[in-house]
């Protein structure tokens, strides 16, 4: 699998640790979307880039890191079709994939240490969606489609 990884300056150190871990400990490769240093970077842009890459099948899954993991999750979830879940334990990481078909997990560098984060990422990458909770995921996808359709109709009306 190809894993998109990124974060802001708060997540830079953990991103580098997890990137190395993924490349050295798994059969997966990473695509680094930044930050590329500890210089200040706003997390929404990085989260949008990873979400877009997942959405366009340029990467199979994503891992995003900021201070808490919450900001990157909120930003990534704004991208149509994306389900990003904040995870700080192995059970949640597995369930993010198995129950929710989350294409992206998020972590907080100020919440979780590097060794625990490695275990979380490993747990997430070691499971595959097999249709668990399909009915619930379909409800989320359907609601998102309704909002997108309505916004498209509203935009078309206003441009006439």
Catalytic residue among 54, 66, 109, 117: 66
Give yes or no for a contact between 73 and 84, defined as CB atoms under 8 angstroms apart: yes
Q: Per the structure block, which two tokens stand in for 79?
A: 């991208």
Rounded distance, CA 21 to CA 134, Å? 31
Tell me, yes or no, if 66 is annotated catalytic: yes
Q: Coil, strand or helix: which one is 11?
A: coil
Q: Running DSSP on this structure, what letter comes out for residue 78? A: T
Query: Tokens 């999750």 identify what position?
Result: 73
Q: What distance in Å separates the CA atoms of residue 30 and residue 19, rounded to the nearest whole number?
A: 7
Q: Write out the catalytic residue numbers.
A: 66
């Amino acid at each position: 699998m190809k894993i998109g990884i990124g974060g802001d300056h708060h997540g830079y150190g953990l991103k580098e640790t997890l990137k190395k871990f993924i490349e050295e400990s798994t059969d997966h490769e990473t695509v680094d979307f930044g930050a590329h240093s500890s210089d200040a970077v706003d997390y929404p842009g990085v989260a949008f880039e990873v979400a877009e890459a997942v959405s366009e099948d340029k990467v199979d899954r994503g891992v995003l890191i900021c201070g808490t993991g919450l900001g990157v999750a909120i930003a990534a979830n704004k991208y149509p079709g994306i389900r990003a879940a904040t995870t700080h334990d192995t059970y949640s990481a597995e369930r993010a994939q198995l129950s929710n078909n989350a294409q992206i997990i998020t972590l907080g560098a100020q919440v979780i240490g590097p060794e625990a984060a490695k275990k979380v990422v490993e747990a997430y990458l070691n499971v595959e969606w097999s249709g668990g909770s399909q009915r619930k995921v379909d409800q989320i996808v359907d609601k998102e489609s309704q909002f997108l359709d309505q916004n498209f109709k509203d935009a078309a009306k206003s441009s006439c």
